[in-house]
Amino acid sequence: MFAELVQTPVREPPSSQIAKQDAKPIDEQIVPLTTSFSEISILESPEKPRSRKKAAQEDVSVVVGEPRVCDTGKPKRRSAKGAKPIAIEEDISEETIQVSEDETVINLKEERQRGKPRTRETVSKIRTKDPVPSIAQEPALRVLTWGDVCPPGDQITKIAEASSAEVYRITNKRGTSIIKAIRLPSPIKALTKAQVASGLIDEEPHSEIDVNNELQISEWLADIPGFAVYKERYIVKGRTTSELLETHQTVQKRMKREDPGRAQYYPSPSRYLDDTAFLVVELGDAGKSLENWELDSVDQLWDIFLLEAIALARAEEVAMFEHRDLHEGNLCIKQARPPRQRDPKVDGFFGYSGLDITILDYGLSRAEDLTNDDAAPIVYDLERDLSLFTGTYNPQCKVYRQMRSFLLRADRNWMPPEAHNIPYAKGIDGPLSWDAYVPYTNVLWLAYTYEYLVEHFEGNKRELTKFKKETAELWKYLNPDAPKNVPAFGCAADVACFALESGWIREDQLLGASTTLLEREDSIIVSRSSEDVEASLRRSRRTRRS
């Protein structure tokens, strides 16, 4: 009934290490998480080619110990005094990482290297290839105005600022949608002196390559429960409407009250010109972002965390996916069904809250087409702006630094903000490249979600204490700051398997979730011409199986 479980890839040690170990077979060095789940898959789907994944399994990681997780040997580094940044030694190589019986080792390096690391120039050449046709070459895209998107009488509310777009909720007589507005290279009014003095900093418009990359990842993940339901995309050009300006100003005022020192990164709609252009992606209504959701039930904590882990685990299998930016603003919560009372006679903690989650914003994500051996991974190069790692303005910046530290060092000795000041620094595998498949980054964001849920829980404190006690062993292996001799989960699939083995979720629930029908919804946005309105009304609903 199940296919083979997603396994943390295993890489044989270099030949020099094998010689030192008297050619001990790699199988004898590995203790699997559990034998009972060696043939279980969290995806019920026809077998797809996995040649790139199989290749990755031959050179990605070495894992020793129970549960199947990660700690690493300690590569050499220079010491730092005062404010001097930590620098990675130039002569660090794979041979510096030793495997021992009492130490878990992981070196999550993707097959991108294929014998030698990619150079910065090679990575740059790969990224110049558009994974999908140019936006300008898509004749099917409608061109609308902001008046079409939200005419008088309709409701528009700004709900979030993602890494690449502003996110709004649109409600009208045809239904509700979430739209992501991604500014394309186009003219916009210059900043006034007052705006500059107020700390307004424009978010740079996004290139077609970056936009196409995110859209391609969205297509790969669209059929996985827990990821956004895609409706349509179109170009929106022209000046703002009063409704759009009002919701933008409301959000900016609230953000300023919460954080007076916060800079405004998205330009005010008052600065839009006739030729200011956005790519707008319309999605199904995913509910509220986690940061705006009131956590008043322990059942909510179980479901939000486990649904996120399962969704990420499936995406790892389908597209070797890493989100890399899964903070509370990019995780949406919706009350899909009424909550129900937990039956003490039935095992498990999953599925009682009635919540569904949706993971949004793949602007910083990494994924690849596993059906094409020659396809390069789609990756956003986070080295473009190191301020992402040096910032300390909110807790998520710590996770960015943890991701980059792990790519450089392959261990959990997290580098401080001042150490992230050299782009494409040389780590244990050569110059840093975000092309690498490092699913441990998904574990880091799961740990971030767990901490957020516990910290922002507003329900019964006694129930929270019980939750923390029930998940103590999970947190032991999830905690990025755990002692270095404690192993850690290597990927989201490991976390999902741990939950299954612990009895928190049953196999029938896991299988049932994987066969959920996702409704392909129609756009609720129409132009103001009667012809377009009639055409929209003629469109029928479509469904497809995930």
Cα–Cα distance between 466 and 322 in angstroms, integer?
Answer: 31
Mean pLDDT on 51-76: 39
Q: How confident is the model at residue 42 (pLDDT cuts 50, 70, 90)?
A: very low
Residue 513 tokens read as: 């979730």
Nearest to 241 by CA among 143, 146, 156: 146
pLDDT tops 60 at residue 116: no
CA distances from 468 to 68, 252, 317 (A): 22, 36, 29
pLDDT at 514 over 60: no
Q: Average pLDDT for residues 249-272, to the nearest whole number?
A: 80
Is residue 157 included in any domain, yes or no?
A: yes
Mean pLDDT of the chain: 74
- At position 345, the amino acid (one-letter code) is K
State which of 254-258, 333-337, 529-533 shows the largest mean pLDDT. 333-337
Instruction: Please write the tens of the pLDDT for every residue from 445-504.
Output: 999 999 999 999 999 999 999 999 999 999 999 999 999 899 999 999 999 999 999 999
Note the pTM of the prediction, 2 decimals: 0.71
What's residue 531's pLDDT?
43
Work out whether strand 143-144 and strand 230-237 pair parallel, antiparallel, or are unpaired: parallel
Is the pLDDT at 214 greater than 80? The verdict is yes
Alpha-carbon 278 to chain mean position: 23
Looking up residue 167, the CATH number of its domain turns out to be 3.30.200.20
pLDDT reading at 286 higher than 50: yes
Report the percent of the chain where pLDDT is more than 90.
45
Contact 414, 401 (CB under 8 A): yes
What's at 253, amino acid-wise? Answer: K
pLDDT: which is higher, 442 or 92? 442
Under 8 Å between Cβ of 442 and 416? no
- In whole angstroms, what is the distance from residue 309 CA to residue 303 CA? 10
Domain membership flag for residue 409:
no
Counted domains in the chain: 1
Are 195 and 113 in contact by the 8 Å Cβ rule? The answer is: no
Q: At what angle do helices 396-409 and 440-455 cross, to 10 degrees?
A: 160
pLDDT given at position 519:
55
The rounded Cα 425 to chain-centroid distance in angstroms is 23
Tens digits of residue pLDDT in 141-176: 889 999 999 898 899 999 888 767 888 999 999 899
For residue 166, being part of any structural domain is answered with: yes
- Residue 404: which pLDDT band, with cuts at 50, 70 and 90? very high
- Both tokens assigned to 465: 């204490």
The count of C-alpha atoms lying within 13 angstroms of the C-alpha of 187, restricted to the half-sphere facing its C-beta, is 6
For residue 118, being part of any structural domain is answered with: no
Q: Is residue 6 part of a domain?
A: no
**Residue 432 lies inside a defined structural domain of this protein:** no
Residue 156 CB contacts under 8 Å (≥ 6 apart), including other chains: 149, 150, 168, 169, 170, 171, 243, 244, 247
- d(CA 147, CA 144) in angstroms, rounded, equals 8
Neighbouring C-beta atoms of residue 109, cutoff 10 Å:
25
Q: Residue 74 pLDDT > 50, yes or no?
A: no
Residue 198 domain boundaries:
135-285
Task: Return all residues near 309 (Cβ < 8 A) that are at least 6 apart.
Answer: 446, 492, 495, 496, 499
Higher pLDDT, 105 or 206: 206
Strand order in the sheet with 288-289: 288-289, 331-335, 355-359
